[in-house]
């Protein structure tokens, strides 16, 4: 059985060689040591702090007011925006950093959902984004996260208390900490579920190859600029100037420290 996640799909779609290094060869290669990566790591750490603070609020380790008071700078502002715009149900179950799995054929798909709220059989999947640029609906409609997380909710609906045979009752919301009044929402349907399963199955078929030739390097210099393998894969390439607006922390980067705490 081969295991896949949304961040592996994102790596595969951005550069096949990057996915090959990370998931097949499991190359342990440190990120470039330059100002760009230091800035990227600082932004990733802010996103991680925000996710961890929200997890603590949902799991009732802190009240939202305590979380706001004990953070500062951007994370404090994001938590204030979260408090103002997100209303989680008080009469159901609310999960944070919820790991879910499902099998499709011979493949095992993994996801860790930022938050899942279930109330009266209805489910809302939340994904918190700390990007500097507003989200584009078209980008998220076919994102691996959208496809995988909705399908994971369906596959685990009995255990989670989600009503059977009512896929329109599953909603996915991308909430943007810097644009809290402009979330992107996707409802679900039987046809979208079938499309998601077909898309994930097709991706897995390509990502299962062990032949390096099936994983060419990207030609997009911007993708290489953010790639931790740059000094290994393209040692003569020149780092591009950092544009904070282009940077979005990868889901795996956000989890790393939180998982050890
Ligand atoms: S440096 Fe560029 S081509 Fe090489 S793995 Fe990274 S993104 Fe792909």
Ligand 1 atom with the smallest distance to the CA of 228 is 6
Host domain of residue 8: 2-260
- The whole-number pLDDT of residue 252 equals 53
pTM: 0.91
Handedness of CA 70, 81, 175, 58 (dihedral sign): positive
229 lines ligand 1 (CB under 6 A): yes
Instruction: Tell me which of 230, 231, 232, 238 to substitute to probe ligand 1's pocket, judged by most ligand atoms within 8 Å of the beta carbon.
Output: 230
Strand 93-104 relative to strand 122-129: parallel, antiparallel, unpaired? unpaired
pLDDT of residue 242: 66
- The candidate with the shortest Cα–Cα distance to 196, out of 184, 204, 185, 206, is 204
Report whether residue 224 contacts ligand 1, using a CB cutoff of 6 Å. Answer: yes
Distance 229 CA to ligand 1 centre (A): 6
Which pLDDT value is given to residue 33?
A: 86
CATH code for the domain in which residue 138 is found: 3.90.320.10
Beta-sheet pairing, 179-187 with 170-176: antiparallel
- Index of the ligand 1 atom closest to the CA of residue 233: 4
Ligand 1 center to 151 CA (angstroms)? 30
Inter-residue contact 123 to 153 (CB < 8 Å): yes
- The predicted-structure confidence for 78-92, as pLDDT tens digits, reads as follows 999 999 999 999 899
Question: Per the structure, how many domains does the chain have?
Answer: 1
Q: What is the full per-residue pLDDT of the chain (261 aa) written as tens digits?
A: 899 999 999 999 999 999 999 999 999 999 888 888 888 889 899 999 999 999 999 999 999 999 999 999 999 999 999 999 999 998 999 999 999 999 999 999 999 999 999 999 999 999 999 988 888 999 999 899 999 999 999 999 999 999 888 888 999 999 999 999 999 999 999 999 999 999 999 999 999 999 999 999 999 888 888 888 999 999 887 766 767 777 776 655 554 433 322
Q: Answer yes or no: is the C-beta of 16 below 6 A from any ligand 1 atom.
A: no
User: Cα(24) to centroid of ligand 1, in Å?
Assistant: 15
51 CB less than 6 Å from ligand 1? no
């Amino acid at each position: 059985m081969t295991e896949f996640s949304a961040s592996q799909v994102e790596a595969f779609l951005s550069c096949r060689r990057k996915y090959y290094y990370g998931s097949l060869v499991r190359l342990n290669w440190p990120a470039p040591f330059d100002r760009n990566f230091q800035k990227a790591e600082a932004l990733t750490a802010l996103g991680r702090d925000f996710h961890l603070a929200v997890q603590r609020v949902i799991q009732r380790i802190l009240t939202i007011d305590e979380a706001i008071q004990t953070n500062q700078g951007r994370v404090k502002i994001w938590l204030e925006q979260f408090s103002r715009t997100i209303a989680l149900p008080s009469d159901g179950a609310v999960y944070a950093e919820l790991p879910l799995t499902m099998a499709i054929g011979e493949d095992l798909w993994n996801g860790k959902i930022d938050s899942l709220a279930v109330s009266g059989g209805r489910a809302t999947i939340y994904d918190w984004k700390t990007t500097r640029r507003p989200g584009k609906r078209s980008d998220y409609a076919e994102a691996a996260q959208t496809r995988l997380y909705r399908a994971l909710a369906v596959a685990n609906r009995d255990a989670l208390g989600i009503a059977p045979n009512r896929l329109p009752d599953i909603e996915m919301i991308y909430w943007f900490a810097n644009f809290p009044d402009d979330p992107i929402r996707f409802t679900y349907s039987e046809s979208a579920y079938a499309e998601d399963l077909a898309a994930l199955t097709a991706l897995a078929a390509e990502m299962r190859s062990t032949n390096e030739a099936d994983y060419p390097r990207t030609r997009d210099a911007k993708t290489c600029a953010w790639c931790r393998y740059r000094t290994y894969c393209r040692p003569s390439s020149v780092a591009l100037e950092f544009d904070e607006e282009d940077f979005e922390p990868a889901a795996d980067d956000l989890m790393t420290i939180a998982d050890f705490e």
